Amino acid sequence: MGAPGSFVSARRLFLAGALCLTLWVLGTFLWHVTYRQGISLAVILLLDQDLPALLGALALLALAAPWAEGRGFSLPPPTARIVIPLVVLLGLAAWTGHYALFQDYAISRDEEVARFAAAYMREGLFARPIPIEWEPYRRAIMPEFFSPFGAADYWTAAYLPVNSAIQALFWQLGDPNLAGPVLLMTGLVALWRVALRLMPDRPDAVWVALILGFSSSQLWVTAMTPYAMTGHFALNLVWLALVLRGGWLGHGAAGLVALIAAGLHQWHFPPLFIAPFILWMLLARRWWVAAYHALTLVTIVVVWAKLWPGFLLHALGAPADVRPSAGVADKIGSLFERLGDRWQPLVNLTRYIAWNNILMVPLAALGVAAMRWRALLAGREIALPLALGCVAGCGLALAQGYGWGFRYAHGFIGPFCLLAGLGWARFRPRDAMRPVLIGLLITILSSGYLVWRTYEFVAPYAASHRLIDSSEADVVLVDPRGGLYVTDLVRGRNGVPGRPMVMNLGMLTIEQVDELCRNYVVQLFERADFRPLGVPLARWNLDRMDMLRAHMKGAGCDKPVQPPLPQTMEEAFNAADNAM
């Protein structure tokens, strides 16, 4: 720790943070809204959720600056007796939030595909055989994110299997929605252990890292979902805790954790986290340790980019319907292609800032500034690999679609928190915690707004899914025209396609529609059904779909989805109340 003269005042920290982040937000608004560089889902969510929350938080940060300096409440040492119960409470909040906030519904196709794979893994399968009667309609039932291997006969998730396998395990134990909260708790405990190791003489700095992690809306809201990103957050920190433990056991276990993390859903995420630490080891001349972890990265590529696709090829058959997309060259090529046309750092990182503690970025900047160059070149600055990882995770700011915050940088929330703790230990007086507590209060207010807007966004889709799921028809055809991302409603029940079999109308031919109408009870789910439920409007048309709908109307095969008739008087009164 430096001399007292080197301390950074909380007032300056608040004002500088508010000013720099406001300029970033202004640039985002000018680029993506004023000059309209494409109205993507990220921009829609930015305007509806993130921008109001972030601007309000920045205003409060600037207004609080004159009163920011001081001790605030005295915090006890961050012992297990205090930290573990807090972690458990956050895990329980995440589990409850899946039902209260997300209404037991996974809104995105990514999440649905992960749950789909968990369902067939729970049954001891590597893929779900397509029933013969549905093979001609297989792509309308599984529109995207399916594996090409054996795709003519099997439905298989395009993602790697570990995230779904974890969900399947918890499904066997009672509830797959416990997977995210348990991984969240694992990551927070690992964050605590790493912070204790890095800052053993500054319990206040340990608390800074923990408070930033505990108050991250992105962490605990994402833990309510089946997204693999909670696993990346947890396993990255477990890997780091094992590496800092050292010894053959620590490094050996870290290699195994990295291999598991790479199989969560896409293998390139852990190498982005691990590579800077290999550089750090090389600077410290820890040649054998660096070589072991470099070998781990090679093993990741061999296992998940070579052996796993080879296993699927052997078990399921040759690729069909789409080209293979699991190879190393394809992965690298796809990454550069997306960097060319889907790189959106302004909007994605603005969402990242909004969904985390308002002081996370300013304090992490102090952590970078705390690095000493001589110690850095000698491999004694842990802040170097932490910072390089954060730059890599945030620099690959590709369009993510749905996500609460910026989920592609989710695995680097832990490094951001640790950098903030290191910056606090270097530039702030011991136990002067008032600015962190003020930042926590501001973050709680902005988080409340984000949670409310999330509920409002998810609710129409959850209601639409319940309506489709309640249909007593054999087949429900979804006409997504006029609604934002309505095609994601094409899914089964709890990851299992069944009655009603839900299909995307736009992926069917007239002949297929005729055959369905002739052989099955068919109902239609369209804008007249989902617009009253509150699904956002999307203005687009498709001539081919117009022809299909006109043909269905002429054939009398366009009956709307109807919920089942009430079976009891109580159900009838409830239905009447709902209608009113």
Rounded Cα–Cα distance for residues 399 and 401 (Å): 6
Residue 4 pLDDT: 44
Residue 332 pLDDT: 55
Last residue of some domain: 455, 480, 509?
Answer: 455
> Does one domain contain both 382 and 531?
no
Q: If you average pLDDT over residues 373-378, what whole number do you get?
A: 85
pLDDT tens digits for 21-66? 999 999 988 888 887 666 777 888 888 899 999 999 999 999 999 9
Rounded Cα–Cα distance for residues 419 and 3 (Å): 20
DSSP string of 148-186, one letter each residue = SBTTTTEE-BSS-SHHHHHHHHHHHHT-GGGHHHHHHHH
pLDDT confidence bin for 333, thresholds 50/70/90:
low
pLDDT tens digits for 439-495? 999 999 999 999 999 999 999 999 999 999 999 999 999 998 888 889 999 999 888
Provide the pairing of β-strand 154-155 with 128-129.
Answer: antiparallel
Contact 273/411 with Cβ under 8 angstroms?
Answer: yes
Residue 179 pLDDT: 97
E strand or H helix that includes residue 523 = strand 522-525
Q: How far apart, in Å, are the Cα atoms of 372 and each of 197, 238, 476?
A: 19, 26, 63
| Close Cβ partners of 83 (under 8 Å, ≥ 6 residues apart) | 189, 192, 210
> Does one domain contain both 294 and 360?
yes
pLDDT confidence bin for 573, thresholds 50/70/90:
low
pLDDT confidence bin for 240, thresholds 50/70/90:
very high
Rounded Cα–Cα distance for residues 216 and 222 (Å): 10
> Does one domain contain both 365 and 473?
no
Radius of gyration over every alpha carbon of the chain, rounded to an integer in angstroms: 25
Domain annotation covers residue 295: yes
Is the pLDDT confidence value at 540 over 70?
no
| Close Cβ partners of 471 (under 8 Å, ≥ 6 residues apart) | 500, 523, 561, 562, 563, 564
Is the pLDDT confidence value at 125 over 60?
yes
Domain annotation covers residue 157: no
Is the pLDDT confidence value at 564 over 70?
no
> Does one domain contain both 422 and 478?
no
Residue 37 pLDDT: 60
Is the pLDDT confidence value at 176 over 90?
yes
Rounded Cα–Cα distance for residues 480 and 457 (Å): 17
pLDDT tens digits for 243-255? 999 999 999 999 9
pLDDT confidence bin for 374, thresholds 50/70/90:
confident
> What is the domain count for the chain?
2
> Does one domain contain both 376 and 412?
yes
E strand or H helix that includes residue 503 = strand 501-504
Contact 498/449 with Cβ under 8 angstroms?
Answer: no
- For residue 493, the SS3 value is strand
Mean per-residue pLDDT over the chain, rounded: 90
pLDDT confidence bin for 322, thresholds 50/70/90:
low
Torsion of CA 283, 289, 291, 292, to 10 degrees: -150
Q: How far apart, in Å, are the Cα atoms of 234 and each of 208, 323, 413, 533?
A: 19, 33, 10, 36
Q: In Å, how far from its chain's centre is CA 443?
A: 20
pLDDT confidence bin for 568, thresholds 50/70/90:
low
Rounded Cα–Cα distance for residues 371 and 368 (Å): 6
For 462-486, b/e burial (b = at least 16 CB within 10 A) is bbbbebbbebebebbbbbbbbbbbb
Domain annotation covers residue 222: yes
Domain annotation covers residue 20: yes
DSSP string of 467-486, one letter each residue = HHHT--SSEEEE--TTBTTG
Residue type, 486: V
> Does one domain contain both 422 and 485?
no
Domain annotation covers residue 499: yes
Domain annotation covers residue 108: no
Nearest residue to 212 via CA among 192, 183, 242: 192
Is the pLDDT confidence value at 169 over 70?
yes
pLDDT tens digits for 267-307? 999 999 999 999 999 999 999 999 999 999 999 999 999 99
> Does one domain contain both 446 and 464?
no
> Does one domain contain both 354 and 468?
no
Rounded Cα–Cα distance for residues 485 and 480 (Å): 7
Residue 72 pLDDT: 80
> Does one domain contain both 566 and 460?
yes
Rounded Cα–Cα distance for residues 5 and 429 (Å): 10
Is the pLDDT confidence value at 136 over 50?
yes
Q: If you average pLDDT over residues 396-410, what whole number do you get?
A: 84
Residue 327 pLDDT: 53
Last residue of some domain: 455, 478, 512?
Answer: 455
- The domain in which residue 546 lies consists of 456-578
| Close Cβ partners of 444 (under 8 Å, ≥ 6 residues apart) | 215
> Does one domain contain both 428 and 301?
yes
Query: Which phi-psi region, left, alpha or beta, contains residue 103 (left: φ > 0; alpha: ψ -120 to 50)?
Result: left
Rounded Cα–Cα distance for residues 55 and 62 (Å): 11
Residue 402 pLDDT: 79
Q: If you average pLDDT over residues 83-107, what whole number do you get?
A: 96
Query: Cis bond leading into 276, ω under 30°?
Result: no
> Does one domain contain both 449 and 467?
no
| 398 CB burial (10 A radius; 0-12, 13-18, 19+) | middle
> Does one domain contain both 346 and 486?
no
Domain annotation covers residue 56: yes
Q: How far apart, in Å, are the Cα atoms of 33 and each of 25, 44, 47, 49, 354?
A: 11, 10, 9, 15, 17
Tokens representing residue 123 in the block = 């049954």
Last residue of some domain: 455, 482, 504?
Answer: 455
**3-state SS, one letter per residue, for 196-240:** HHHCCCCHHHHHHHHHHHHCCHHHHHHCCCCCCHHHHHHHHHHHH
Q: If you average pLDDT over residues 512-538, what whole number do you get?
A: 91
Domain annotation covers residue 507: yes
For 353-380, b/e burial (b = at least 16 CB within 10 A) is bbbbbbbbbbbbbbbbebbeeeeeeebe
